[in-house]
């Protein structure tokens, strides 16, 4: 078990890597901006070209901050779910939250083919997709919370969450069958995920809900460490299982639901980042894991976004494809190299 000094050095290195990835992410893109001008723009100084200032402030900075929030939020959500269900394959969307968001978006985009012109007017609103995804996630969350209050077995909640996901996926399939080619294309593009569509005002709303989810998570750290010992032993130590489970589900739902609503479903990050962090830090203590997952998730998401935007090119690849193509082989290599997983 590494000592405190080793952990502090590791965190310092991760913070420096995060800052470097942040600057590189802002620098690279369809237009290359030298790091010197990126730094000048961030501190309020003038850049060599005025257009660079506009690009950084209005496009690349919001996208880079979005990548940090998405990567850290999904990573922490995955950690919470893997600890709650004691299942290494559990991810942030295991409760059906992503499927609920997908259903909400499908009703807005594809619903006009089934329900008539009522849903067409909703598409005129800039916030329509976000609101629809949020409502879909909230309804699924409400159903899961009602179940979690009545059901004692944690694994039963996991199965019920998967059943909710199956139901919503079936409804989306029916809507897709009746949708036009243009509607299907729009829905597919939303499913690719995107980090670059948020304005500063939208990012502000995103951050407020994200911060609430993080605060609930931080308040649950002691409960998470106790749950590692098993529910029966946790009860004997005086832990209120229902209250702790409720807090963990709410935190995950706020983080994963908000991220899906604003950026679309992002694959791989929530499932793999907790494993990557455990391999590197070799601990199951959530006081160490939560901030470490935050940093790892943000770093990996910034790297994936930098690759997805293809430097010096007008093309942008789907972020979902990049997160899986870049991250999955790394995790496989880590697990093969170090078979003893700390969980």
| Residue boundaries of the structural domains of the chain | 4-337
User: What is the model's pLDDT at position 242?
Assistant: 82
- Could you tell me the pLDDT band of residue 22, with boundaries at 50, 70 and 90? very high
- Could you tell me the pLDDT band of residue 70, with boundaries at 50, 70 and 90? very high
- Could you tell me the pLDDT band of residue 11, with boundaries at 50, 70 and 90? very high
Instruction: Tell me the per-residue pLDDT of 146-195, one tens digit each, with 9 for 90 and over.
Output: 877 777 777 777 888 888 888 888 988 888 888 888 888 888 888 888 89
pTM of the model: 0.89
CA–CA distance, 124 with 190 (Å, rounded to integer): 16
Least confident among 71-80, 190-199, 333-342: 333-342
pLDDT at 245 over 90: no
CA–CA distance, 74 with 267 (Å, rounded to integer): 9
User: What is the model's pLDDT at position 330?
Assistant: 72
User: What is the model's pLDDT at position 335?
Assistant: 67
Q: Which CATH homologous superfamily contains domain 4-337? A: ABC transporter involved in vitamin B12 uptake, BtuC (1.10.3470.10)
Scanning 200-285, the segments in alpha helix (DSSP H) are 200-219, 221-227, 231-236, 241-263, 269-281
């Amino acid at each position: 078990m590494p000592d405190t000094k080793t952990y502090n050095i590791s965190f310092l290195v991760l913070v420096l890597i995060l800052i470097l990835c942040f600057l590189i992410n802002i620098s690279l893109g369809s237009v290359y901006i030298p790091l010197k001008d990126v730094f000048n723009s961030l501190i309020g100084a003038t850049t060599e070209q005025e257009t660079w200032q506009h690009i950084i402030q209005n496009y690349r900075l919001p996208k880079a901050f979005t990548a940090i929030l998405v990567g850290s939020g999904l990573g922490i959500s995955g950690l919470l779910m893997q600890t709650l269900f004691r299942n290494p394959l559990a991810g942030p969307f295991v409760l059906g939250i992503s499927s609920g968001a997908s259903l909400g978006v499908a009703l807005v985009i594809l619903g006009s083919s089934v329900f008539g012109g009522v849903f067409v007017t909703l598409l005129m609103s800039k916030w329509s997709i976000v609101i629809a995804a949020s409502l879909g996630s909230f309804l699924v969350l409400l159903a899961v919370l009602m179940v979690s209050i009545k059901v004692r077995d944690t694994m039963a909640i996991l199965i019920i969450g998967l059943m909710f996901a199956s139901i919503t996926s079936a409804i989306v399939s029916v809507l897709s069958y009746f949708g036009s080619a243009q509607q299907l294309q729009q829905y597919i593009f939303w499913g690719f995920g995107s980090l670059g569509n948020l304005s500063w005002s939208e990012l502000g709303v995103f951050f407020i809900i994200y911060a609430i989810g993080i605060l609930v998570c931080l308040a649950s750290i002691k409960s998470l460490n106790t749950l590692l010992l098993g529910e029966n032993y946790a009860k004997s130590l005086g832990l209120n299982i229902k209250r702790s489970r409720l807090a963990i589900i709410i935190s995950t739902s706020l983080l994963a639901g908000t991220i899906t609503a604003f950026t679309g479903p992002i694959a791989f990050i929530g499932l793999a980042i907790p494993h990557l962090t455990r391999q590197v830090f070799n601990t199951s203590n959530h006081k160490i894991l939560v901030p470490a997952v935050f940093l790892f998730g943000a770093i990996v998401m910034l790297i994936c976004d930098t690759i997805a935007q293809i430097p010096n090119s007008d093309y942008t690849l789907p972020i979902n494809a990049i997160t899986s193509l870049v991250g999955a082989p790394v995790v496989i290599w880590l697990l093969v190299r170090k078979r003893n997983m700390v969980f």
